Structure 1
Amino acid sequence: MLIRFGKTVFATVFLLASGLSVSLATQNSVAQTSIKSIAIDHVWSGHRIKPYLLTRGNNQYVAYFDSNRQMTVAHRTLGAPWRYYKVDSWLGWDSHNYVTLEVDSEGHIHVMGNVHADPIEYFRTSEPHQVRSLKRVEVMVDKNIEQRTTYPIFMLNKNNELLVKYRDGGSGNGNEIYNIYDTKTKTWSRLHENQFLDGQGKMSGYFEGPALGPDGNFHLIWVWRNTPNAATNHSLSYAKSPDLVNWQDSSGKPLALPLTLKHSEVVDPVKPGEGMINGNVKLGFDGKNRPMISYHKYDENGNTQMYLARREAKGWNSVQISDWKGFRWEFGGGGSLGRFPIKPHNPSLMDNGNISVLVRKNAQVLRFVVEPTKLKTIKVEPADLYPKELELVTKTSNQSTLTSSDLPFEHQVFAGKGKSKKGGKYYLSWYSQPGNRDRAHSVISQPSVLLLHEVVSP
């Protein structure tokens, strides 16, 4: 289907396997954005779980859990039909158990996921780009340290070599493992001789990144967490690296591995119980390529507030950018929490030189427009995280599921990774019930339609 926003264009939405079609039309004075949407599959909607979408040139890959909770991987050449394959891995009720993938320099697909302190779940193709050649790989490097894996993330270094990182251990007592892949021998090896991070039996790190910055360095931010209790997050920290092997602080001083709380750089010494949580610290860069971090914590009155920290000449400068009254997110306990009432996104540079910090606060999405010199908030305005028309398309495709149930569904949108030769942006969208601290809901909802959207701006 095609929806073009800005002038009247009729679009037909085909509901997967239902035979029903619905026509949509919108009107505006100036053509702005076109959206092409296709249905991928019926997918699990019983709780929040993240799929993955990757575009590399003319190749596109998607990984998700189908309506039977089975891990599914699909590939297509852009514009061509999808080819699907299901591997022998099934999802439970844990919202940590997302699926992720990457493609190495020879076109082989690598897939990991469905783990939360579980033995490694890793699959690799024997033929480039051919999802139907995916096979389980029982051991990546060392079976002894691949028994309690969590949070797998694939990445490429500056030489286009494939790496993966994951946590070994549990919350409050875990270690980060980095492995690097050799395409010639088709084997993995440890990237670091020593342990990368050491919580010394008292804490573990929850990371965002590493992300390659405009200065050519990889930048990593994290919070420490003492126990499975989410309220015990503390000490926002930072490190950078030119090669993911040798690490340094923001001034360029070398950091010896393993990183510890004492021997790493703390951006903001937030204490446990002071309102900071893992997953809600986000990295960006200003017009001078300086790292910035958006996050939240309690102010002196106990209200939850947004902060923006930036590395400046004299060190890290953290500025409160919100001024909310009577708003406090009191969180704690273990397991996947429900929908966060506040969700910051990566700070970014605006065309006029100001800094944008997008924040979802309950049902609102706000943009904090911050001037770049003193990090003073100029204004707060309504904003969108993604084209809002996607929700209309998703609701139409899932209409029978949504109208036949009074369950509390959430609209989920995932921005795809990578780039295509065509340009444009790709998104996945679907509906699901919220997380339930990794426990079963009393009712299993009907499957949702997973949609792929290609969004093209003129």
Structure 2
Amino acid sequence: MFLINMKYMKKIIYCLVFLPMFFSSIVYAKEPEITSIAIDNVWSGHRIKPYLLTRGEQQFVAYYDANRQMTVAHRQLGGKWRYYKVDSWLGWDSHNYVTMELDSEGYLHVMGNMHADPLEYFRMSEPLNVRSLKRVSVMAEKSLEKRMTYPVFLRNKQEQLIVKYRDGGSGNGSEIYNIYNTQSKSWSRLHANTFLDGEGKMSGYFEGPTLGPDGMFHLIWVWRNTPNAASNHSLSYAKSEDLINWQNSNGEDISLPITAKSAEVVDPVPPFAGMINGNVKIGFDHNKQPIISYHKYDANGDTQIYVARKEGKGWGAVQISDWKGFRWDFDGHGSLGRFKVKPYSPELLGNNKLTILVRRNDDVMRFILDSDSLKTIKVEEADIYPPIINAATEVANSHLSKGSGLIKLENHVFKGKGDSSAFGKKFYLSWLTQPGNRDSAHSYISQPSVLTLSGINDSN
């Protein structure tokens, strides 16, 4: 049974009147305009992430259907969807997300369903024809494609397609980059060596590379010694102009592979000190300098939010929260389920201010910081995504909200990737799932959820 916050009740009532389950177009007074459509019934038995990509007028959604099969849908904006299912099925592992990117010739590349698993990669044989997706058995080097994890597609400044992934296991893995040649339709290694090497002692968990306003790609990561999530340590940084040659924050060259000894450390947080992979985020201040948000334990053992920024030849860290008696212990293996605290990337505000969204349990707050000192000016209530998306999701999944109440489902939102907006809209996916269960099966499998795509006016 769903418990709906009363402040959203009015929106939900309006949705029940004007938003049919499978298609809607709603305009509220003083509310953003939203258009929502149902994509498909999808697996809801545990938390798993779909993907939404918009490039120009072309839009793609990749997800696992109600039978756990990887599915890709394509449309030209405003047109009808065309679907295709590939021969890949999801297990219970929440690491096995799906990701994709379009190359400069209009061929879609799809990867996913890998957590220290052999290559799962599909590529179109005809431009913009989703039903031409075919499995590719070897990407660039078969010996490095047997235990693949965390695939990420990105583009360099020349719009060439690049993919990166981890080869090996948690606490014992190397980072690999490949680049795609559209003429030969083949991949090759971007670097002669591995990009990052834990030397059999640790693995790097990355955020980025992110192209900054200074024209450089910025990369941050934490090291992790073992599969135990609490063994994360040493927030680190590197930057590059071309993703091939890398430097530290002082512009000094870093030879590859980067190791724990050669990496630049932003904050030497030790293992079991409250820092976790996935919760280090990068943004940029008014001077185009990178600024990093993350969390760790303070001197009293409480979890606190920090920001770090370059100061002189080194980095300075500032504690921006002042929580008493709040400590998130996340010891253990496997997917941890819903994080008890999650910071988002720092963003610019006017009047020389910065803002950082933070979710702590069910509360979302916005920290307003002075851009010069990084000190907290105020903290206010906030929303991570437009709340009207939640209303559309609840209506589309009313069949679940009226269920037996044996399991409380979680509401998820994925902000679309690729072009930031198209036809004046920003796009989001939303769906419901059971909570994470350390990558193990639940005793009960919920009914499929409706995966909903919502377009919200970019002007709002």
TM-score class, shorter-chain normalisation, is: over 0.9
Larger mean Cα displacement after TM superposition, 397-406 or 340-349: 397-406
Map of 2:43 onto structure 1: 44
Letter paired with 1:360: R
* Aligned-pair CA distance for 1:9: 9.3
SS, match of residue 33 in structure 1: coil
Is contact 2:94-2:439 (8 Å) kept? yes
Letter paired with 2:111: M
Per-residue CA deviations over 1:215-269 (Å, capped at 9, x if unaligned) read 0010000000000000100000000000000000011000011111110100000
* Aligned-pair CA distance for 1:317: 1.0
Map of 1:248 onto structure 2: 247
Change (3 A) 1:444 1:302: same
Is contact 2:16-2:395 (8 Å) kept? no
Per-residue CA deviations over 1:147-197 (Å, capped at 9, x if unaligned) read 000000000000000000000000000000100000000000000001211
Percent identity between the aligned chains? 65
Map of 1:290 onto structure 2: 289
Map of 2:20 onto structure 1: 14
Is contact 2:94-2:436 (8 Å) kept? yes
Per-residue CA deviations over 1:424-448 (Å, capped at 9, x if unaligned) read 2100001001111111011111000
* Aligned-pair CA distance for 1:12: 3.2
Is contact 2:201-2:225 (8 Å) kept? yes
Map of 2:7 onto structure 1: none
Alignment RMSD: 1.7
Is contact 1:10-1:24 (8 Å) kept? no
* Aligned-pair CA distance for 1:35: 0.5
Map of 2:358 onto structure 1: 359
Change (3 A) 1:216 1:454: same
SS, match of residue 393 in structure 1: helix
Q: Counterparts of 1:365 and 1:124 in 2: how far apart (Å)?
A: 39
Letter paired with 2:202: M
Is contact 2:15-2:392 (8 Å) kept? no
Counterparts of 1:1-400 in structure 2 under 5 Å?
Answer: 12-16=18-22, 28=29, 31-400=30-399
Is contact 2:250-2:313 (8 Å) kept? no
Q: Counterparts of 1:24 and 1:164 in 2: how far apart (Å)?
A: 37
Q: Does 1:451 align with 2:452?
A: yes
Is contact 1:9-1:26 (8 Å) kept? no
SS, match of residue 144 in structure 1: helix
Change (3 A) 1:126 1:25: closer
Is contact 1:11-1:24 (8 Å) kept? no
* Aligned-pair CA distance for 1:198: 1.3
* Aligned-pair CA distance for 1:332: 1.0
Letter paired with 1:426: F
Q: Counterparts of 1:132 and 1:423 in 2: how far apart (Å)?
A: 28
Q: Counterparts of 1:89 and 1:114 in 2: how far apart (Å)?
A: 7
* Aligned-pair CA distance for 1:421: 3.9
Is contact 2:144-2:167 (8 Å) kept? yes
* Aligned-pair CA distance for 1:10: 8.6
* Aligned-pair CA distance for 1:418: 1.5
* Aligned-pair CA distance for 1:314: 3.9
Q: Which runs of 5+ in 2 are unaligned?
A: 1-9
Is contact 1:11-1:25 (8 Å) kept? no
Q: What number of residue pairs does the alignment pair up?
A: 446
Larger mean Cα displacement after TM superposition, 79-88 or 418-427: 418-427
Q: Which runs of 5+ in 1 are unaligned?
A: none
Letter paired with 2:247: Q
TM-score for both structures, normalised by structure 2: 0.94
* Aligned-pair CA distance for 1:312: 2.5
Change (3 A) 1:32 1:401: closer
Is contact 1:290-1:312 (8 Å) kept? no
Q: Counterparts of 1:448 and 1:130 in 2: how far apart (Å)?
A: 27
